[in-house]
Structure 1
Amino acid sequence: MNISPEFTSIGANRNPAAADWDVHGSGLLAFGADNCIALWDPLDESLRGVRSVLKGHSKAVNAVTFFPTGSSTTSILLSGSADHSIRIWRSLKQQELEFQEIKSLAEHQSAITRIAVLPGSDVFITGASDGTLKVWKMIHDVDFSEVDVELLQTINLSPRYFPLSIALALLDESSHILAVGGTKSIIQIFVSRDSQFSLAATLTGHEGWIRALAFTRETISDDSDLLLASASQDKYIRLWRVHPGEELPQASSALNDPALGVLGKSLSNKAHRFESVSAKYSVTFEALLLGHEDWIYTASWRHRDGKLQLLSTSEDNSLSIWESDPNTGVWICGTRLGEISAQKGSTTATGSAGGFWIGLWSPDSNSVASLGRTGSWRMWTFAPEQDLWAQRVAITGHTKEVRGISWSRDGSYLLSTSADQTTRLWAQWKRNQTSSWHEFSRPQIHGYDLNCIDAITNSQFISGADEKLLRVFDEPKGVATMLDRLCRIEANTDNLPDAANIPVLGLSNKAIQAVGDDEPVQEDETDDRAAVDPASVVRKSTLDFDHPPFEDHLARHLLWPETEKLYGHGYEISAVSTSNDGKLVATACRASSIDHAVIRLYETKEWLEVKPPLKAHSLTVTALQFSHDDRYLLSVGRDRQWAIFERSSDSDTTYELRLSNPKGHTRMILDASWAPTMGENGERTFATAGRDKTVKIWSLLGTECVCKATVSADAAVTAVAFFRELVSGQWVFAYGTETGLVGICKVAPKLEKVQTALVDVKLCPAKPIVELVWRPTAVDGSLQLGVASDDSSVRILNVNG
């Protein structure tokens, strides 16, 4: 069987050190995503998104840095994780995305927080929350085919604090300079002598933790002064000058900047003097950069167009590019990108995106990428003709476990829902000769973790969360029109509302009308004093674009209106399934008694519950599925049993228990799926997946049900799904395990022999598979399998053969 990746989406870790853009050759951006590392080429014209995901760490990846190899044919990637380890990955140019783990270092006693490297040097430095820095030397041959690592020194930070930022620079031919900051308001400067670093100066002035440090030369010349930028939680960036010689540098005129007001009097220009092996140096305060309104997370330098520029990102939702005014020497913010966070509604679900955690320059310095709270990347590219930074399409992804996925009824788009409290819609942007997958709508932004989802029609879905009730959503006209225009998904938009929003302090999405750009906003006639909430107004032009929506649109304007709430369950919703004719919805909740482990049915016309609820299980029902003609409803649960309910002959909505097997598996049953067609004698077939590491295939005929085949796996089987049609006279089904492996199986309806092909480990998630769903119809001869996993990824695999 030929299995290839069609699409991968995974959200990035919110850690300022957890991403790096390779300026040394490959042009890839690597970022920590849960306990993996995702590789993405932001400047790829075809917008293919995440290319591959590297697995190896057992806990969240906190630090990712490309090692400067000086070679265009080899890339080396360093990663540090909460599992206390540092891993070294190597890729050769011939297989650009085939990074192999070649070394693992486990000297630190706690989570790794930062990794610093230096172009032209084999030294790199790691910091960890055990309050230590370790200085390493990479020993390698010219093409990095042999790599070893030597530990040169361990520095115990005194006073003890967690290093959150490390910057390394070449001081002169014989010495390196190292700046360290973290969970104190001081910056410590270390200087090396004979490869051993010793404390040379302690810089004070900041009033909060130091989040970012970065060195650069003031000009392109190697003998110009070093500048150090330090960014802090006190909302300020300070610049420091490292100057050679006994003489102090000329005092910065920026200190007398009238804009500093009272602050100017308290700024100290005390000189800190130290020596390297060959020369004397001083560190003096150079400038204070004011402008951010909240914690600053990253700062990075770049010589661009003959000017020295500093890129900073902040919790205030902005990304700033600073440069020095050539006449006065005062540092000013020349470009500010992002959002105005002070606007009304900024703290609601539809408001602020919660700050920018990472800011990175592209290799050519003409693009910047930034990571926000929602795990999504934003990107801006400088357009010289307009002299402005234009936003470009970037990638998005869930930031926590993906709990459920569902294709729309016709398979035109994929819905996913997650413990990050969002539901997302993925579809294929079709243009010219190319196509690529993107997030086109975020129908639900919720206050509870979302657990399950299913499509009712092509423009309606239902989701269940940790809040004991289910919600039904209808597609708004703005989203339907956009999907028609960009993805060629046709829809009838006659009776659809324009858009939706979440009222302040609410959880229910309300339908709203889009307003023309020139039309005034209607005041509330019932209350003269009530001001109009800007978040409740959507202008028609905001929903009209010719590319997949940017993160600010997704987070604010592309919700779906909620049309119904379904009550009845006493605990968190665990499973939901819609009948194939769309007339019934079956639901279940978490339970530890027979009274709560019931299955409730709701008819979709009036949304009334069909009484009485169905009883069979004594513990949580983990999965529900209707047979393809809706005659039977199959349920499985944590009590190790499966049950089959049959529709009564006199009512389309009434089901009664037909058969159950209290010992279907020896451990809890986690998923089940019906085969698409009946056998020669009218028998029906279904599969169950259990924690006992097996998939069992059952044949139901009359009142008897027999296990006809068993597929064994290496770990607990957490998901199973049949493709809904025969393929070359055979049934095709997929199963997923607790270790993230996916198996694709073929079996003839006679159930004599099951053929199994395991998907390549590189294409599989790093954590348990939560749900598998087949796209209802084949695409270009390929079957497509949607995979949801606990590693926060949503994947689509092409299956051929």
Structure 2
Amino acid sequence: MVISLDFFSIGGNRNPAAADWDVDGSRLLAFGADNCIALWDPLDSNKYGVRSILNGHTKVVNAVKFFPTQSPNVSILFSGSADHTVRIWRMSSEAEFDFEPVKTLSEHQGPITRISVLSGSDIFATGASDGTVKIWRLVHNSDFSSLDVELLQTITLAPRYFPLNIALAILDESSTVLAVAGTRNTIQIFISHDTHFELAATLTGHEGWIRALTFTRETSDKDSDLLLASASQDKYIRLWRVHRGNELPTVSSALNDPALGVLGKSLSNKVHRIESKVTKYSITFEALLLGHEDWIYTASWRQRDGKLQLLSTSEDNSLAMWESDPTSGVWVCTMRLGEISAQKGSTTATGSAGGFWIGLWSPDGNSVVSLGRTGSWRMWTYMPSEDIWAQQVAITGHTKEVKGVCWSRNGSYLLSDSSDQTTRLFAEWKRKSQSSWHEFSRPQIHGYDLNCIDTITDSQFISGADEKLLRVFDEPKGVADILGRLCDIRITGAQLLDAANIPVLGLSNKAIQTVGDDEPVDNGVADDGEAVDPASVARKSTLDFDHPPFEDHLARHLLWPETEKLYGHGYEISAVATSNDGSLVATACRASSIDHAVIRLYDTKEWLEIKPPLKAHSLTVTALRFSPDDKHLLSVGRDRQWALWERNVDSTYTLKSANPKGHTRMILGAAWAPLEQPTFLTAGRDKSVKIWQLSEGEAQLKSTVAATSSVTAIACSEQTSQDRLVFAFGTESGEIGIGLVSAQTLDQAQITMVSGKLSPAKTINQLVWRPSKEDVDRQLAVASDDTSVRIFKVVVE
């Protein structure tokens, strides 16, 4: 069997230190995604998305930094995590997008908060919540084939605080300067004497935690002044000048700027004197940058077109570029990108991006990327011909555990739902000779964690959440048009609504109309004085584009209208399944007694419950599956039993057989095999997959496949080539096995395990094979607790 990855989707961690773009070797962008590190090439013309994921950390990755190797052939990556360790990775020579772990540093006693490197030097610094900053030296040979690390110094911060950021710069030939700040409103400046750093100055002025620190030289001349930018939760960026010699630099005009008015009082021009072995320096306040309306998370310098520019990102959903006015020397914002949302604190559905947490320059300085609260990246590239920054297609992903995945009935697109309270639709963008997977719609943005999902028709799905009811959604025209235009997915015969939105203070997606750009909007009220709610109308032009939608569209314009709610359960919904003919939906909820551990059936025409509910289980039902001909319904539960229900003439089901000791531990997954003789598989916490076959009305155990840890998900491929059955199972530790078994000898299964580099880092929640009647390569979708959605290609030889 040949198993490869077709698609990764994973959201970025909300931490300003958790991403870095490699300037030297790989030119890749690495970002923390839950416990993993994802590698992405934003400038890739094929728009392939995430290329690989590095597993190893046991807790959330907080800090990611590339070491400046100054070689195009080598990349070294540092990652720091809440598991108290720093890991060092080296780009492997065999695979272009693969890094191998080289070393783990576990000297810190708390979660790592920041890693800082120094270009042209082997020194790097790490900060952690144990209130210390450690200075290290990377010991290596010229091609980095041998690596070691030596700890030079541990600085215990006093008064104690968490170092949220660290900046290093070369002061002169004998000394290095280190700036540290974090959960206080002061910046500590340390100067190295030999390799030992000592506190030299404390800069005051900020009125909130300091979120960003970054050094640069004012011009490309290495003897020019050093500039330090500090950005804070007080909404301001301060610039500080480190000047060589006893004379002070010319006084900055920023202090006397009348526009600063009342702020002028807090702008002191106190001179801080520091000295290295060679000479003396002064640190003075240079400028105050005003413009952001909320906390500022990142700031980074770049020499672009001979000008020094500073990029900042803020909780106010904007990304700003600052440069010094050549005549007055005053720092001004020359470009602002992002969203101007008037609705402060509003939900994602009404248009808030939840702030930009990370902002990075590309290696050539002509593109910028930023990460928002929804785990999605945005990218802008400078177009010199039009002199604008144009938004580009970037990547998106869930930010919490992915609980369920399902393919549309014809296999044309994939839906996933997650504890991050969103449902997402992924499809293949088809161009002339290329194709790549992207998120094309976000049908549901909800107030509850979502647990399970299934499709009813090609344009309708049902999802269950922690709120005791199930919701049914219909595809809107706008999404159908985009999928038809870009993915060649056509829907026939369905009456589609125009679009949807979430009313303010609501949880249900309401259908709304789309109107042309020039058409007047009627508020539907007799009194014309009433203003029209802008959210209740969608302009057709907003969905007219020739590329996968940007995050702005996904978060606002691509919801699906909700058409039905199904009531009846008393607790959080745990499982849902639709019959193969689409006429019935079976659902179950979390339960600790026989009264709640019932299976409810609903018909999909009138959406009425078919009474009575099915009773057999005494604890939560974990999975429900209809047989390929819908004659049987299989249910498995935490009470270790499976139950088989048989369909009657009137579409009701009665208990045919049950096995109260199906497994020795709880059963977590179930699947039907597409064989002539009814055959089903169950997966349990007892680390086994069991294959059962019905003969003369009795289910007999035909085979047991052992796994190395609890089996949490199982699925059978519909394609049976040469009378062979292909199934996949996933475990609690993230392993995936693909099994191959002959229909005649079910007790001889060949298992191929997916390589650890490709499989998820945490529990697998659901596996689904892509429906296909042709004999093409099989595709398997995987939902996992490590926040990823993956699509594997499986070639059975």
**Range class of TM-score, shorter chain:** over 0.9
SS of 1:265 mapped into structure 2: helix
Structure 1 residue 702 displacement after superposition = 2.7
Match of 2:403 in 1: 403
Supply the AA of the counterpart residue of 1:611: K
1:651-690: CA deviations, max 9, x gaps? Answer: 1x200000000000000000000101223xxxx1100000
Match of 2:101 in 1: 101
Within 5 A, what are the aligned runs for 1:41-120?
41-92=41-92, 94-120=94-120
SS of 2:53 mapped into structure 1: strand
Structure 1 residue 527 displacement after superposition = 5.8
Aligned positions, number? 795
Would you say 1:544 and 2:544 are equivalent positions?
yes
Q: Is contact 1:677-1:725 (8 Å) kept?
A: no
CA–CA distance in 2 between the matches of 1:261 and 1:166? 32
Within 5 A, what are the aligned runs for 1:178-197?
178-197=178-197
Structure 1 residue 345 displacement after superposition = 8.4
SS of 1:588 mapped into structure 2: strand
Distance 1:405 1:194, change over 3 A: same
Q: Is contact 1:685-1:697 (8 Å) kept?
A: yes
Match for residue 774 of structure 1 among 765, 769, 773: 769
1:208-255: CA deviations, max 9, x gaps? Answer: 000000000000000000000000000000000000000010001122
Structure 1 residue 528 displacement after superposition = 5.4
CA–CA distance in 1 between the matches of 2:699 and 2:92? 55
Match of 2:668 in 1: 670
Match of 1:729 in 2: 723
SS of 2:482 mapped into structure 1: helix
Structure 1 residue 95 displacement after superposition = 2.5
Structure 1 residue 536 displacement after superposition = 2.0
CA–CA distance in 1 between the matches of 2:518 and 2:636? 56
CA–CA distance in 1 between the matches of 2:45 and 2:493? 32
Match of 2:237 in 1: 237
1:524-543: CA deviations, max 9, x gaps? Answer: 41565643222222110001
1:172-212: CA deviations, max 9, x gaps? Answer: 01110011110000000000001000000000000000000
Match of 1:738 in 2: 732
CA–CA distance in 1 between the matches of 2:625 and 2:124? 54
Distance 1:356 1:22, change over 3 A: same
Match of 2:656 in 1: 658
CA–CA distance in 1 between the matches of 2:537 and 2:729? 45
Match of 2:255 in 1: 255
Structure 1 residue 346 displacement after superposition = 3.8
Supply the AA of the counterpart residue of 1:712: A
Structure 1 residue 520 displacement after superposition = 2.1
Match for residue 789 of structure 2 among 783, 786, 794: 794
Q: Is contact 1:164-1:211 (8 Å) kept?
A: yes
Match for residue 719 of structure 1 among 696, 706, 713: 713
Within 5 A, what are the aligned runs for 1:135-154?
135-154=135-154
Supply the AA of the counterpart residue of 1:132: T
Q: Is contact 2:725-2:741 (8 Å) kept?
A: yes
Would you say 1:685 and 2:683 are equivalent positions?
no
Supply the AA of the counterpart residue of 2:732: E
Structure 1 residue 257 displacement after superposition = 2.0
CA–CA distance in 1 between the matches of 2:493 and 2:484? 10
Within 5 A, what are the aligned runs for 1:383-462?
383-462=383-462
Structure 1 runs (4+) deviating above 4 angstroms are 526-530
Within 5 A, what are the aligned runs for 1:162-561?
162-343=162-343, 346-347=346-347, 349-492=349-492, 495-525=495-525, 530-561=530-561
SS of 1:554 mapped into structure 2: helix
Match of 1:572 in 2: 572
Q: Is contact 2:344-2:352 (8 Å) kept?
A: no
Structure 1 residue 752 displacement after superposition = 3.7
- Structure 1 residue runs of 5 or longer lacking an equivalent are none
- Structure 2 residue runs of 5 or longer lacking an equivalent are none
CA–CA distance in 1 between the matches of 2:3 and 2:262? 65
Structure 1 residue 277 displacement after superposition = 1.0
CA–CA distance in 2 between the matches of 1:775 and 1:666? 31
SS of 1:698 mapped into structure 2: strand
Within 5 A, what are the aligned runs for 1:9-24?
9-24=9-24
CA–CA distance in 2 between the matches of 1:292 and 1:118? 29
Supply the AA of the counterpart residue of 1:776: P
CA–CA distance in 2 between the matches of 1:97 and 1:348? 33
SS of 2:722 mapped into structure 1: coil
1:115-144: CA deviations, max 9, x gaps? Answer: 000111000000000100000001011111
Distance 1:306 1:138, change over 3 A: same
Q: Is contact 1:583-1:603 (8 Å) kept?
A: yes
SS of 1:542 mapped into structure 2: helix
User: Over aligned residue pairs, what C-alpha RMSD do you find?
Assistant: 1.2
TM-score for the superposition, normalised by structure 1: 0.98
Larger displacement relative to structure 2 (527-536 or 221-230)? 527-536
Q: Is contact 1:240-1:285 (8 Å) kept?
A: yes
Q: Is contact 1:726-1:732 (8 Å) kept?
A: yes
Structure 1 residue 781 displacement after superposition = 2.5
Q: Is contact 1:778-1:784 (8 Å) kept?
A: no
CA–CA distance in 1 between the matches of 2:527 and 2:276? 72
1:376-409: CA deviations, max 9, x gaps? Answer: 0000000001101000000000000000000000
Structure 1 residue 25 displacement after superposition = 2.3
Q: Is contact 2:63-2:81 (8 Å) kept?
A: yes
Match of 2:619 in 1: 619
Match of 2:610 in 1: 610
1:146-195: CA deviations, max 9, x gaps? Answer: 11100000000001000001110000011100111100000000000010
CA–CA distance in 1 between the matches of 2:77 and 2:241? 31
Match of 1:601 in 2: 601
